[in-house]
């Protein structure tokens, strides 16, 4: 080669271009089946949750009975017709409730209409008979179900979900505070350390210790021969679940949510307060029952005439079965308080006796203009969110408790049964946004006549005064801070918004893993 000439560099042959691998189609949206217990305190948050999950683009089907579906059909129809976002429609599966097959009168499809605890066993037998019809429906459902969120009380759904290869998540209609309390009490047998049912004992292992008595514990701590087998099945089914979803938010629980996760060694998603999905007055008005016992305009017109934070709202829940003489004491206490009030009172149990007193004693006439009496279902979220309402006399059911917090309304606490005394401890001693009326012992289903009058009118008036007459300013500040935190939790980036995203993602991943195995 001549000096100074460059050595030629061989040019490689052009590489063969391979087409990119075909992209896999995106996985289909998950399909959530939501199955609440037929009781308003269990169904109402499930309906809200259905709307929240659907808003994320998932398919949602609600399972209930024909009679129970009438209470929320209009809310779902309105959600489905909403034009500002594209998403699959929420569907409702209506099952025949086998009342006659188990010896229940026709129409007894909800716990709030059962007149006697003797019918509870038959009610659960009827629930068990829904297993076959529901399984047949789910086998034919398109798209196939990805996840079943079922009430803890519906234990047979665990075995059904296993057969159908569906992820099952348990819905708990209560706080992590009360759930953790029950776990700790059982684990340490703390309730057995008290010398009597009325002696307070320490609940061990709680982030914020407190005392409670055996007489205030949920009924699950009692031996009930007719229902013990039902409870044992619930507990066993819960241990087989993928996780737990709760209508609460992390900040509200003061460490109890994380401790509860550790205690049960399962995933726990806090996705609430789900009531905040109801942004419009009509949704608030019809929440829980699309046929309330008062007209929306009448309710709002009455409240609009009142001064801000001047009204006490009193409601002891859809399962309140207190004797008329106890309800009379409540009414007289509201009257004696001197405050404007809205009183939602159930008159379907011994109605003649209570109605006779309301009218015959002159009570309705005496409080006319100052008191609004709602006989039956009340639009609670609408009432609590009104600026005129400054306090809530409540039975401390978890839905009512968290709804009051969302509205920034402090509480007068009057627990009756279930975990309501534990909720009272949380409201009064941990969150410090409530005043006790003085109830000391649970009034369980069937014990109302024996207990009789446990809270006098003087105690009602005194508790209302303590809350409303200037002494509750710090409570108002605290509960408004919690209300702001609740809204923040539900907003994008908030803890509950993120937990719901994580729940959906976890279901999608399990679904993909299951498809890969098959």
* pLDDT tens-digit series, residues 255-296: 999 999 999 999 999 999 999 999 989 899 988 887 788 889
pTM for the full predicted model = 0.92
Sequential pLDDT tens for the chain (518 residues): 444 455 555 555 555 556 666 666 667 799 999 999 999 999 999 999 999 999 999 999 999 999 999 999 999 999 998 755 567 899 999 999 999 999 999 989 999 999 888 899 999 999 999 999 999 999 999 999 999 999 999 999 999 999 999 999 999 989 999 999 999 999 999 999 999 999 999 999 999 999 999 999 998 887 766 667 777 888 888 888 999 999 999 999 999 999 999 999 999 999 999 999 999 898 999 888 877 888 899 999 999 999 999 999 999 998 999 999 999 999 999 999 999 999 999 876 666 788 889 989 999 999 999 999 999 889 999 999 999 999 999 999 999 999 999 999 999 999 999 999 999 999 999 999 999 999 999 999 889 999 999 999 999 999 999 999 866 789 999 999 999 999 999 999 999 999 999 999 999 999 887 666 65
113: which 2 tokens? 């209409």
SS3 394: strand
Angle value at C-alpha 174, between 199 and 420, nearest 5 degrees: 35
The whole-number pLDDT of residue 1 equals: 47
Helix-helix angle 398-407:473-490, to 10 degrees:
100
472: which 2 tokens? 């509750």
Q: Encode pLDDT of 128-168 as tens digits.
A: 999 999 999 999 999 999 999 999 999 999 999 999 999 99
Residue 201: DSSP 8-state: E
Cβ neighbours of residue 432 closer than 8 Å, sequence gap 6 or more: 474, 475, 478
DSSP string, 432-455: --EEE----S---TT-HHHH---S
Residue 86 CB: number of other CB atoms within 10 A?
Answer: 7
Handedness of CA 383, 386, 389, 394 (dihedral sign): positive
Query: For residue 122, which of 7, 227, 261, 16 has the smallest C-alpha distance?
Result: 227
Give the Å distances, CA to CA, from 20 to 13, 16, 17, 24, 229: 21, 12, 9, 12, 59
Q: Calculate the CA dihedral of residues 401, 403, 408, 409 and round it to 10 degrees.
A: -60
């Amino acid at each position: 080669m001549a000096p100074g000439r460059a050595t030629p560099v061989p040019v490689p042959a052009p590489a063969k271009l391979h087409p990119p691998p075909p992209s896999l189609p995106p996985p289909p949206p998950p399909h959530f089946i939501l199955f609440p217990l037929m009781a308003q305190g269990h169904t109402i948050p499930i309906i809200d949750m259905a709307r929240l999950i659907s808003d994320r683009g998932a398919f949602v089907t609600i399972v209930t009975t024909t009679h129970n579906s009438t209470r929320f059909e209009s809310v779902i129809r309105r959600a489905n017709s909403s034009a500002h976002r594209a998403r699959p429609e929420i569907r409702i599966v209506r099952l025949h409730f086998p009342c006659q097959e188990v010896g229940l009168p026709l129409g007894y499809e909800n716990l709030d209409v059962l007149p006697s605890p003797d019918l509870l066993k038959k009610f659960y037998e009827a629930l068990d008979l829904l297993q076959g019809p529901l399984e047949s429906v789910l086998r034919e459902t398109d798209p196939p179900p990805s996840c079943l969120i079922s009430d803890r009380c519906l234990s047979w759904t665990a075995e059904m979900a296993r057969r159908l290869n569906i992820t099952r998540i348990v819905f708990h209609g209560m706080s992590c505070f009360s759930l953790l309390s029950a776990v700790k009490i059982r684990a340490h047998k703390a309730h057995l350390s008290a010398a009597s049912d009325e002696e307070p004992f320490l609940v061990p292992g709680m982030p914020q210790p407190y005392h409670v008595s055996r007489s205030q514990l949920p009924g699950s701590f009692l031996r009930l021969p007719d229902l013990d087998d039902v409870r044992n099945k619930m507990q066993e089914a819960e241990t087989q679940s993928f996780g737990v979803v709760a209508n609460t938010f992390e900040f509200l629980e003061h460490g109890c949510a994380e401790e509860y996760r550790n205690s049960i060694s399962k995933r726990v998603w806090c996705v609430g307060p789900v009531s905040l999905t109801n942004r419009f007055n009509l949704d608030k008005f019809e929440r829980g029952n699309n046929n309330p016992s008062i007209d929306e305009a009448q309710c709002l017109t009455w409240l609009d005439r009142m001064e801000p934070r001047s009204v006490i709202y009193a409601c002891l829940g859809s399962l309140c079965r207190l004797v008329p003489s106890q309800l009379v004491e409540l009414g007289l206490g509201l009257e004696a308080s001197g405050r404007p009030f809205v009183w939602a009172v159930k008159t379907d149990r011994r109605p003649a006796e209570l109605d006779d007193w309301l009218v015959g004693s002159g009570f309705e006439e005496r409080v006319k203009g100052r008191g609004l009496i709602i006989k039956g279902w009340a639009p609670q979220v609408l009432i609590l969110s009104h600026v005129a309402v400054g306090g809530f006399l409540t039975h401390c059911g978890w839905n009512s408790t968290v709804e009051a917090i969302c509205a920034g309304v402090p509480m007068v606490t009057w627990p009756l049964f279930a975990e309501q005394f534990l909720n009272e401890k949380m409201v009064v001693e941990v969150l410090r946004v409530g005043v006790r009326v003085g109830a000391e012992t649970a009034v369980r289903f069937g014990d109302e006549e024996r207990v009789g009058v446990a809270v006098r009118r003087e105690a009602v008036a005194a508790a209302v005064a303590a809350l409303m007459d200037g002494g509750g300013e710090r409570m108002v500040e605290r509960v408004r801070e919690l209300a702001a935190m609740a809204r923040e939790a539900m907003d994008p980036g908030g803890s509950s918004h993120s937990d719901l995203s994580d729940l959906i993602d976890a279901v999608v991943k399990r679904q993909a893993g299951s498809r890969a195995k098959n």
